Amino acid sequence: MPLQEHAFADVADVHSRLQAAGYLADHAIATTVFLADRLRKPLLVEGPAGVGKTELAKALASAAGAELIRLQCYEGLDEARALYEWNYKKQLLRIQAGRNDEAWDETHDDIFSDEFLLSRPLLTAIRRDAPTVLLIDETDKADVEVEGLLLEVLSDFQVTIPELGTLVATRRPFVVLTSNATRELSEALKRRCLYLYLDYPSSAREKEIVLARVPELPEQLAEAIVRTIRALRAMELKKAPSIAETIDWAQTVLALGIDTLDEAAVSSTLGVVLKHASDQARASGQLKLGPN
């Protein structure tokens, strides 16, 4: 079912289709996604790094049969990278190839046409006629000025290009914004969105996720991995292990044929989940691991 006509029938439909796409959503997640779809509102998903915010958008696209278009935010992101820019090299070649008697107005209208437009993620998502999920990832990393650009897009789902006029979406994309809360987003942006906070899952749910993604793993080994991961997250680390790294660890243990997560097994594979030397040293000390 196209996103224009609502992607999901009810909350249970969201839950089952996300699960089929490999994402285990709880009731709160499924309800918020359903409401964002039904109300045609952007969904702002906030929480620590590595709790599955981006994965939710990917699973949503898969569940809705939509194409995922991703805008990765970063410091210094500008309109040219987020929205559009003109192909200046091609424009220059067109001017050089023009006839000597050609009027400038004719040349101008030609080079500022769709043929010379380089569409970036925001404009691409707005111009698509097919079902689309627009992921604006790590919105909090972009400069405040970028939020002004997003306000126009998320308010009216339209983009104004001075040379071409205002382009209005014929089919609204389902918009998912993610944030690690490294800075506070503007109230104006938040007002346009539904809000969902994702935290690290409970041990039972994380074990369920691990077994769903690594079904060959014995249940007792999954329990040991999740228990150790939760102990690591309780430490004061530079970077706490993400859910994805929990899954990586499970796959590592399985690949190495480890059947017991003892001190030796943890010590030899700690680099899969901790990517800073200081974190590994702290974990080794607090978990009382011997040298590799």
Q: Quick one: pLDDT at residue 147?
A: 86
Q: How many CB atoms lie within 10 A of CB 173?
A: 26
Long-range contact list for 230-237, CB < 8 A, 24+ apart?
230/203, 230/206, 231/286, 231/287, 232/273, 232/274, 232/283, 233/200, 235/279, 235/282, 235/283, 235/286, 236/282, 237/274, 237/276, 237/279, 237/282, 237/283
d(CA 57, CA 70): 10
What pLDDT is attached to residue 1? 37
| The CATH number of the domain covering residues in 3-74+128-197 | 3.40.50.300
Which pLDDT value is given to residue 255? 95
Q: Distance of CA 109 to CAs 78, 123, 138, 218, 227, Å? A: 25, 20, 37, 66, 64
d(CA 230, CA 240): 9
Question: What are the residues whose beta carbons fall under 8 Å from the beta carbon of 248, sequence distance 6 or more?
Answer: 272, 273
Q: What is the pLDDT along the chain (292 residues), one digit of tens a residue?
A: 344 578 899 999 999 999 999 899 999 999 999 999 999 999 999 999 889 999 999 999 999 999 999 999 999 898 889 998 988 888 788 777 766 656 555 666 677 778 888 899 999 999 999 999 999 999 999 988 888 888 888 888 888 888 888 888 889 999 999 999 888 999 999 999 999 999 999 999 999 999 999 999 999 999 999 999 999 999 999 999 999 999 999 999 999 999 999 999 999 999 999 999 999 999 998 887 655 4
Q: What is the predicted pLDDT for the residue at 80?
A: 87
Q: In the numeric block, which tokens belong to residue 27?
A: 């009731």
* pLDDT recorded at residue 103: 59
- Domain residue spans of the chain: 3-74+128-197, 203-283
d(CA 124, CA 128): 6
Count Cβ atoms within 10 A of the Cβ of residue 273 and give its class: 0-12 exposed, 13-18 middle, 19 or more buried: buried
Burial 67-81 (b: 16+ CB within 10 A, else e): ebbbbebeeebeeeb
Beta-sheet pairing, 117-119 with 84-86:
antiparallel
